[in-house]
Structure 1
């Protein structure tokens, strides 16, 4: 290199003291999860993980319908689907079938 001191040599410091280095100590094992949970509950920590709900069964339906509605209507719709143990798509299909039947009954075709 021109105009300056070159790279430092590893052999420039003959009295290299490595006495301050020591092998890593073994980590202590973490406390049992039950103990952590008990301590967290005692201190009233709240879990940030939402409660998992059972996954609904899959279907062959591939099209999607998005609608805006009121909270009351949405709650009622989900309550019916849950009470009948229907998928949301099944509840929608039953609702459409009921509307079609009602229109036929009124002569609306």
Structure 2
């Protein structure tokens, strides 16, 4: 998959089609549902969804959505562990850095 560099004219004129945005919303919803239903093993899918947000969304909207996708694994993990005592922080911090890093790099 190829896309123009963010500072090129092609990137500034890039149009987002409604089907691709609709599929992105459906995928993000499924990742949230799977993560809440099946637990932390599905939290890694936020990395891909964050990368898609960076590619598909305008820069300011993508930054807000990527920030949300970075914080969602934290909230889901703390909520499933009923507090911060049972959380594996090294794993969670690595995941959050990957979600944020890849999402912002794709923008």
TM-score by length of 1: 0.20
Larger CA Rg, structure 1 vs 2: 1
More RCO (CA 8 Å, sep 6+): 2
Q: Which has a greater percent of helix? A: 2
- TM-score, with normalisation over the residues of structure 2? 0.20
